[in-house]
Amino acid sequence: MATRQIPRTTLGEGASHEGFLRHKRFRWAKLALLLCAAAVAGYALIDAPPRHYGGTAFGYVLGTVATLLILWLTLLGLRKRAMTPGRWSLKGWTSAHVWLGLSLTVLATLHSGLRFGPDVHTLAWGLMMAVILSGLYGIAVYAALPPALGDSRAEMTRPQMVDALAKLDVQLEAAAQPLALADAAVVRKALAEDPFAAGLLRRLSGSDARSATRRAIVALAPAGDAALLAVLERKVAALGQIRRHLRIRALLEVWLYVHVPLTFALLAALAAHILSVFFYW
Rounded CA gap, 13 and 10, in Å? Answer: 6
Query: Of 21, 35, 39, 73, which lies in the binding site for ligand HEM, with binding defined by CB under 6 A?
Result: 73
Scanning 48-56, 132-140, 190-198, 236-244 for contacts with ligand HEM by CB under 6 A, the matching segment is 132-140
Q: Could you give the residue ranges of the DSSP H alpha helices within the chain?
A: 17-45, 57-74, 76-79, 90-112, 120-144, 146-154, 158-176, 181-192, 200-205, 212-220, 226-254, 256-280
Please say which residue, 53 or 142, places its beta carbon nearer to ligand HEM: 142
- The sign of the dihedral angle between the CA atoms of 42, 48, 51, 53 is negative
**In the complex, what is the shortest distance from the CB of residue 234 to ligand HEM, in angstroms, rounded to a whole number?**
33
Q: Of 214, 217, 264, whose CA–CA distance to 240 is shortest?
A: 214
Binding mask 241-270 toward ligand HEM (x if CB under 6 A, else -) reads: ---------------x--xx--x--x----
Which one of residues 15, 35, 65, 98 is an interface residue with ligand HEM (CB under 6 A)?
98
Based on the shown chain and the rule CB under 6 A, indicate whether residue 104 belongs to the binding site for ligand HEM: yes
Q: Dump strand ranges (E) for 211-276.
A: none
DSSP string over 259-276: HHHHHHHHHHHHHHHHHH
Give the residue with the Cβ less far from ligand HEM, 102 or 172: 102
Give yes or no for residue 11 binding ligand HEM (CB under 6 A): yes
The residue among 77 and 178 lying less far from ligand HEM, judged by its C-beta, is 77
* Min dist. Cβ of residue 237 to ligand HEM (A): 29
From the CB of 75, what's the least distance to ligand HEM, in Å? 8
Q: Is the dihedral of CA 200, 203, 205, 208 positive or negative?
A: positive
Region from 101-109, 199-207, 214-222, 269-277 binding ligand HEM, contact rule CB under 6 A: 101-109
Q: Which stretch binds ligand HEM (CB under 6 A): 66-74, 152-160, 196-204, 268-276?
A: 66-74
Integer Cα distance of 254 and 201 in angstroms: 10
- Letter for the amino acid at 133? L
Min dist. Cβ of residue 249 to ligand HEM (A): 11
**77, 150, 178, 261: which one contacts ligand HEM (CB under 6 A)?**
77
Name, in order, each residue with C-beta under 8 angstroms of 91's C-beta and a sequence gap of 6 or more.
10, 15, 19, 20, 23
CA 277 to chain centre: 35
Angular region, 206: left φ>0, alpha ψ -120 to 50, beta rest: left
Size of the site for ligand HEM (CB under 6 A): 27
Q: Which range binds ligand HEM by CB under 6 A, 98-106, 185-193, 217-225, 233-241? A: 98-106
Kindly indicate which of the ranges 49-57, 126-134, 181-189, 205-213 contains the residues binding ligand HEM, using the contact rule CB under 6 A: 126-134
Give the separation between CA 262 and CA 270, rounded to whole angstroms.
12
Q: Taking CA 266 as the corner, what is the angle to CA 36 and CA 77, rounded to the nearest 5 degrees?
A: 85
Q: How far is the CB of 9 from ligand HEM (least distance, A)?
A: 3
Q: Does 143 bind ligand HEM (CB under 6 A)?
A: no
216 touches ligand HEM (CB under 6 A):
no
Check: CB of residue 112 under 8 Å from CB of residue 223: no
